[in-house]
Structure 1
Amino acid sequence: MLQTGVVTALGTMSGTSLDGVDAAVVHTDGISIHGIGPSSYHAYSEQEQVTLKAHLGRWQDEDCTKAATIVEEAHMTVMQPFEGIDIAGFHGQTLAHDPGGRGTHQCGDGARLAEALGYPVAWDFRTADVAAGGQGAPLAPFYHFALAKWIKAAAPIAFLNLGGVGNITWVNPACDDPADPAALLAFDTGPANAPMNDLMRQRQGLGYDANGDIAAQGRADADIVAGFMKHPYFGKAAPKSLDRDAFSGLAQPVMKLSDADALATLAEAVVSSVAAACALCPTVPQTLLVTGGGRHNKTLMSGLADRLACNVARVEDVGLDGDMLEAQAFAYLAVRVARGLPISSPQTTGIAQPMAGGRIARSCNNTG
């Protein structure tokens, strides 16, 4: 069993952007944050990214050995230098996500990591939620709730993660428990960086539009954005979740546009989807704290500030690390998994009732 009280947890995240693995330490008892520790990052090589992308859409019954090996070895590389770790949270790499259909697939074996690292590893965080009728995503909201307490938020706030896919968490810090029905509402907003990054790779051989500089030179096509917002997803009630390629059809309408206009259009589509998401929140948040790679895109950030009726800020403005929040979340969730605490609720994944999830892998060299 994991020792009682505050422990040192290491969390990892290999997100839908497929760029690499984040790792970060959180000191927590699984309820409150008692400190945030060091972090690290390991980039996938170009060839590894190509291999991982080729495996997107594959399920557990298909051959994913090459992808799993890349994911596991990258995680071991970034995790091994950390010292004094009591437990780790290993998210793995999402290859397919179809709640209500085939389920969810995060590639990578937590047992292999536990054996290599010598301490317990919590993993397979989403499967139980999806199997019980939940969306299985997003899972960071319980950590966002703890962060709202950590930064001493006095009014409802929202965290917006702009990764490959966007997701939002509305938090009421007046509540005492993230499983309280009034504490949270969380769901995927729509595509975020993935369509813009894919376009940059296809047209310019670059990973992304640095700072949104190219998008800033273009003009958004209002008709394409309006058509995008007619997608059935935006008519669904929250909570709800997306696969990375759920909006892959967005690439076709912008093909006729210049690079700048195409990127401006994709950025405006993100802004419009976030505005629609904010309209679903129980109240207008006092502040929208933006995390993920999209917070560096000035075109996105200025578009959000112009469109929304709340303050828009990067999480760094309140002393947080926007590159590491997702990894920190799985450190925090690892402790909750080990202690049998809920990691999802009706307001975060649509599950019928708050539920624990995940599995714990232990090596032969530890009994924690």
Structure 2
Amino acid sequence: MRNFVHYTAGQAQLETGWYVGLMSGTSLDGVDAVLARFASGGAAQQVATGAHVHLPFAPALVETFRRLNAPGPDELHQAALAEVALAQVYAEATQMLLARARLPASEVVAIGAHGQTVRHQPQGAQAQRYTIQLNNPAWLAEQTGIAVVADFRRRDMAAGGQGAPLASGFHRAVFSRAGEGVAILNLGGIANFSLMAADGAVLGFDCGPANTLMDGWCRRHTGQPYDADGRWAAQGRVLPQLLAALLRDPFFAQPAPKSTGLDRFNLDWLQQHLQAFPAAEPVDMQATLAELTAVSCAQAFSRYARGQRVIGVCGGGAYNHYLLERLRVHVGPQVSVVTTAEWGVPPEQVEACAFAWLARQCVLGLPGNLPAVTQARGPRVLGAIYPA
């Protein structure tokens, strides 16, 4: 860490300088890149974003990522090629970001690059637990001329944690309010909560599927990448028996903290349940999948909330108005459901900002995980640094 500080910048610049956050999540819609800097002030840490870029994935790369979420032939070769392809997208997004902000690469302290999760097995004996995020941070550092911080999750798992969710530390730093309870709900491919109590305690966990099933079903039956505003789901009717069957998956009853991924909740998982409902109309299935996300999130909130009366929603699902309305129905009128835009961070930028923040934590030698969230034995500095 001393070498990194010595060769890049002074302490003040490391603390207040620009960081790039790169996030490609389980929704598989592409990369979000954010230019961010951080400064403390008041009850919460202040974040300022200089620019944001979204760069979609090529369909062939998306298909490769989907295949790699399950066992298949020639996995090592396919994964190695996908890592370079992903790093290329990361590099393009970073360069577009800097051009938009008119900022030279020399002004960026580091890039926080999460990578693409293709396997996540956080349960079982310690020696059998692992998480895999495809990435090629050395290639990215060469292409951008900027130091890269990557591999955030495995140190937490080595310390006995689940390696997820990691954004809760950022959520606490930026969105917590002294003496108030605040909940952040990320609706990406998978849904996850950060519940911040008024006394400062934080609980974070995955709730289950969010956009991954809805997007996959929409793509299969309409050819569209996602159900814009939930308009298609709004035309259908919820199938109560199917919804009940889906909610019987053991993950929903498992106590928090917990985490999951696409290797569990995917269209093959859904297809197994559909065998008992062969006559289900596709539009009714879409409505039922939206209800599954709304109900599972509401149930998790009801089970674990400690005085939180406002939910700030981020991720792509924050723009699915039908889904948010169903969530409002299930959490009840006593809970306000808003988006994080009301607190100054647009929903599509939150997760990328989190990895810019995690990169900064690593560079400064500060912990990035919350043991109460991941179940790690203690706070850990997360990530490995690849100098420019």
Same fold flag (TM > 0.5):
yes
Amino acid at match of 1:43: P
Q: Given the alignment of the two structures, is residue 302 of structure 1 paired with residue 325 of structure 2, yes or no? A: yes
Equivalent residue number for residue 55 of structure 1 = 68
Q: Given the alignment of the two structures, is residue 24 of structure 1 paired with residue 40 of structure 2, yes or no? A: no
Report which of the two has the higher share of helix. 2
Which stretch shows the higher mean deviation, 344-353 or 46-55?
46-55
Residue 153 of structure 1, CA deviation: 6.5
Q: Secondary structure at the match of 2:311?
A: strand
Contact 1:145 1:173 in 2 (8 A): no
Task: Report the RMSD for the aligned CA atoms in angstroms.
Answer: 2.1
Percent identity of equivalent pairs: 34
Residue 225 of structure 1, CA deviation: 1.4
Residue 349 of structure 1, CA deviation: 0.9
Which stretch shows the higher mean deviation, 189-198 or 343-352?
343-352
Q: Given the alignment of the two structures, is residue 4 of structure 1 paired with residue 11 of structure 2, yes or no? A: yes
Counterpart CA distance in 2 for 1:20 and 1:205 is 17
Q: Given the alignment of the two structures, is residue 275 of structure 1 paired with residue 289 of structure 2, yes or no? A: no
After TM superposition, the structure 1 = structure 2 runs for residues 196-235 of structure 1, keeping only pairs within 5 Å, are 196-235=214-253
List alignment gaps of at least 5 residues for structure 1: 176-181, 364-368
CA offsets, 1:235-267, max 9 Å, x none? 222111002231332344346311210011111
Which stretch shows the higher mean deviation, 189-198 or 203-212?
203-212
Counterpart CA distance in 2 for 1:342 and 1:277 is 27
Contact 2:358 2:382 in 1 (8 A): no
Contact 2:219 2:225 in 1 (8 A): yes
Amino acid at match of 2:270: L
Equivalent residue number for residue 41 of structure 1 = 54
Q: Given the alignment of the two structures, is residue 79 of structure 1 paired with residue 94 of structure 2, yes or no? A: yes
Q: Secondary structure at the match of 1:246?
A: coil
Residue 280 of structure 1, CA deviation: 3.2
CA offsets, 1:100-148, max 9 Å, x none? 3340111012122122222211100001111222111111111111221
Residue 213 of structure 1, CA deviation: 0.7
Match of 1:253 among 273, 284, 293: 273
Counterpart CA distance in 2 for 1:103 and 1:302 is 36
Contact 1:134 1:351 in 2 (8 A): yes
Counterpart CA distance in 1 for 2:338 and 2:373 is 23
Which stretch shows the higher mean deviation, 351-360 or 86-95?
351-360
CA offsets, 1:321-341, max 9 Å, x none? 111111010001101011221
Counterpart CA distance in 2 for 1:147 and 1:58 is 39
Counterpart CA distance in 2 for 1:133 and 1:192 is 26
TM-score, normalising length from structure 2?
0.86
> In the superposition, relative to structure 1, how do residues 79 and 56 fare at CA in structure 2: closer, same or farther (>3 Å)?
same
Counterpart CA distance in 2 for 1:110 and 1:221 is 45
Counterpart CA distance in 1 for 2:196 and 2:293 is 21
Match of 1:155 among 180, 204, 207: 180
Counterpart CA distance in 1 for 2:279 and 2:260 is 26
Which stretch shows the higher mean deviation, 303-312 or 253-262?
253-262
Contact 1:96 1:105 in 2 (8 A): yes
How many residues are aligned here? 354
List alignment gaps of at least 5 residues for structure 2: none
Match of 1:65 among 80, 89, 105: 80
Equivalent residue number for residue 161 of structure 2 = 134
Amino acid at match of 2:311: L
> In the superposition, relative to structure 1, how do residues 171 and 49 fare at CA in structure 2: closer, same or farther (>3 Å)?
same
CA offsets, 1:200-252, max 9 Å, x none? 12122211111111111111111111122222112222111002231332344
Contact 2:290 2:323 in 1 (8 A): yes
Equivalent residue number for residue 179 of structure 1 = none
Equivalent residue number for residue 351 of structure 2 = 326
Contact 1:94 1:107 in 2 (8 A): yes
Contact 2:197 2:308 in 1 (8 A): no
Contact 1:8 1:26 in 2 (8 A): yes
Counterpart CA distance in 2 for 1:29 and 1:315 is 19
Equivalent residue number for residue 146 of structure 2 = 119
Amino acid at match of 1:193: N
Contact 1:344 1:356 in 2 (8 A): yes
